[in-house]
């Protein structure tokens, strides 16, 4: 940063309420002094990832601007380098690679103890998504408590930190909820969906020692199936082997993670969970589809089998940290596999239209991201 010069910086934003409004705009340059008590961290943005949430925000399905603005800066998967820190910042120093949590606290008790991902309020504040500007800017500033250090040795996995935090949280929630039993020794997991959350969930479950089956429609031979196999999990093409057939072969699962973005699949998963098992829903389905389900059958099986369903959204700093440890272990166990998720880079703010085009139109894209600066 050139100190003393207050130039505006570039930002990529949408006009909430107006479909396909993504555009380039400007914001004032932030400063560490914007954050109270000497706790500010100024970050130079290196890369920003996009996902289905950004697509749906640009489709004006949801997303709200911060108070006083008619636009919302997008971007919630950030990787950057610390430029400057406030006088009372201890855990991070200039030159460190970092990412940032997405949600900011509201007023509930859960928000006040650092677990803002569990807010009990209807309104939630998420950078780049709802009521707070995102990270698709040249710089951003935030308080130390929302900044997460990324180890040097994981810098090549940059924008995966945020999606990883969501996978790490979802699985941790499942394990914590299972403490309802004196012992829980899960052996077999099904991961439904082989997009970024499905793949990262596959890794977390492998790290926990489970026998993991990752299910998706495509026949084997796609990048997705190669990544699953690279993680030493079993890829199952549901076109060839529907989930019923898999259950016939290997039995029901102790844990199922749904990451398909398809509510019909999320509900159908209820038919394939074993006794004392837990089903975690991580994805959401925009739309108004309605499916018919065998409700009597599910009802009796779930009661007689003590089964549990958990919904999971977002992540707090502790999940970013545990997710980063999972990535580190993943790199040691399966070197070079995880970076294959990072499929589609786009260079520079000027190419924001190309970024959105890849996100919407490129079926083989696993992760689309912007290289903001070097
Ligand atoms: C983000 C989460 C966020 C959720 C709901 C996801 O795309 O990665 O951090 O909580 O959308 O807005
Ligand atoms: Zn996201």
Per-residue model confidence (pLDDT) at position 3: 54
pLDDT in tens, 234-252: 999 999 999 999 999 999 9
Q: Work out the pLDDT band at 4, boundaries 50, 70, 90.
A: low
Q: Could you read off the pLDDT of 92-124 as tens digits, one per residue?
A: 999 999 999 999 999 999 999 999 999 999 999
Strand partners, 104: 125
Index of the ligand 1 atom closest to the CA of residue 314: 10
pTM: 0.97
User: Do 248 and 227 meet the contact criterion of CB atoms below 8 Å apart?
Assistant: no
pLDDT higher than 90, residue 274:
yes
**Confidence class of residue 5 from pLDDT cuts 50, 70 and 90?**
low
Choose among 200, 285, 281, 194: nearest CA to 237: 194
Residue with tokens 């030159």: 95
What does the pLDDT read at residue 30?
Answer: 97
Half-sphere exposure for 338 (CA within 13 Å, toward CB): 28
Q: Measured in angstroms, how far is the CA atom of residue 54 from the centroid of ligand 2?
A: 8
**Which stretch of 11-25, 80-94, 210-224, 287-301 has the lowest confidence by average pLDDT?**
287-301
With a 6 Å cutoff on the Cβ, whether 104 touches ligand 1 is no
Mean pLDDT value across the chain = 97
Residue 52 CA: nearest ligand 1 atom is 7
DSSP conformation class of 271: G
**Contacts of the segment 103-109: beta carbons below 8 A, 24+ positions apart:** 103/127, 103/314, 103/316, 104/132, 104/146
The residue whose CA is least distant from atom 3 of ligand 1 is 314
The alpha carbon torsion through 344, 349, 351, 352 (nearest 10 deg) reads 80
| pLDDT confidence bin for 279, thresholds 50/70/90 | very high
Minimum-distance ligand to the CA of 313? 1
Cα–Cα distance between 9 and 29 in angstroms, integer? Answer: 6
36-59: string of b/e by CB count within 10 Å (b at 16+)?
eeebbbbbbbbbbbbbbbbeebbe
Could you tell me if the CB of 284 is within 6 A of ligand 1? no
Q: Is the CB of 51 under 6 A from ligand 1?
A: yes
Residue 78 pLDDT more than 90?
yes
**Tens-place pLDDT, residues 303-359:** 999 999 999 999 999 999 999 999 999 999 999 999 999 999 999 999 999 999 999
Say whether pLDDT at 140 is over 80.
yes
> Measured from the CB, is residue 154 less than 6 Å from ligand 1?
no
Burial class (CB in 10 A: 0-12, 13-18, 19+), 95: exposed
| CB of 129 closer than 6 angstroms to any ligand 1 atom | yes
CB-ligand 1 contact for 196 (6 Å cutoff): no
Rounded to the nearest 5 percent, the helix, strand and coil shares of the chain are 35, 25, 40
325 Cβ contact partners less than 8 Å away, ≥ 6 residues apart: none
Which residue's CA is minimally distant from atom 2 of ligand 1? 314
131 pocket-lining for ligand 1 (C-beta < 6 Å): no
C-alpha span between 110 and 309 (Å, rounded): 21
State the closest ligand 1 atom to the C-alpha of 51, by its place in the atom list counted from 1: 7
DSSP string, 112-161: HTT-GGG--SS--EEETTBEE--S-BSEEEEEGGGEEE--GGGGGGGGGH
How much is the pLDDT for 287? 78
Q: What pLDDT does 285 receive?
A: 82
Tell me how far apart the alpha carbons of residues 261 and 131 are, in angstroms, rounded to a whole number.
24
Q: Measured from the CB, is residue 167 less than 6 Å from ligand 1?
A: no
Whole-angstrom CA distances from 119 to 16, 103, 113, 161 are: 23, 10, 10, 22
How many whole angstroms separate alpha carbon 222 and alpha carbon 318?
33
Q: Is 152 exposed, middle or buried (0-12, 13-18, 19+ CB in 10 A)?
A: exposed
């Amino acid at each position: 940063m050139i100190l003393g010069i207050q130039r505006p910086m570039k930002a990529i934003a949408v006009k909430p309420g107006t479909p396909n409004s993504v555009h380039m705009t400007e914001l004032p340059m932030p400063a560490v002094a914007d954050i109270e008590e000497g706790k500010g961290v100024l970050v130079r943005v290196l890369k920003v990832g996009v996902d289905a949430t950004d697509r749906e925000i640009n489709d004006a399905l949801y997303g709200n601007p911060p108070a006083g603005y008619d636009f919302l800066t997008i971007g919630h998967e950030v990787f950057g380098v610390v430029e400057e820190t406030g006088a009372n910042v201890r855990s991070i120093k200039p030159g460190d690679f970092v990412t940032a949590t997405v949600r900011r606290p509201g007023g509930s008790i859960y928000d006040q103890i650092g677990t803002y991902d569990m807010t009990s309020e209807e309104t939630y504040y998420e950078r780049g998504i709802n009521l707070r500007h995102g990270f698709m800017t040249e710089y951003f500033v935030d308080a130390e408590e929302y900044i997460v250090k990324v180890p040097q040795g994981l810098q090549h996995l940059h924008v995966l930190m945020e999606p990883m935090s969501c996978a790490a949280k979802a699985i941790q929630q499942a394990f914590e909820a299972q403490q309802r039993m004196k012992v829980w020794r899960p052996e077999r997991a099904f991961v439904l969906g082989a997009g970024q959350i499905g793949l990262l969930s596959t890794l977390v479950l492998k790290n926990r020692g489970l026998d993991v089956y990752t299910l998706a429609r495509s026949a084997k031979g796609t990048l997705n199936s190669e990544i699953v196999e690279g993680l030493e999990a079993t890829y199952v093409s549901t076109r060839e082997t529907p989930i019923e057939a898999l259950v016939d072969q290997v039995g029901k699962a102790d844990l199922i993670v749904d990451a398909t973005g398809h509510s019909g699949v999320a509900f159908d998963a209820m038919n394939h969970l074993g006794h004392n098992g837990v089903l975690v829903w991580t994805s959401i389905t925009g739309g108004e589809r309605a499916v018919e389900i065998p409700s009597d059958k599910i009802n009796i099986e779930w009661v007689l089998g003590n089964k549990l369903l958990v919904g999971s959204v977002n992540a707090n700093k502790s999940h970013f940290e545990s997710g980063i440890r999972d990535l580190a272990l993943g790199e040691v166990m399966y070197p070079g596999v995880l970076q294959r998720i990072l499929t589609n880079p786009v260079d520079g703010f000027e190419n924001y239209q190309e970024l959105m085009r890849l996100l919407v139109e490129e079926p083989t894209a696993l992760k689309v991201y912007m290289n903001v600066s070097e």
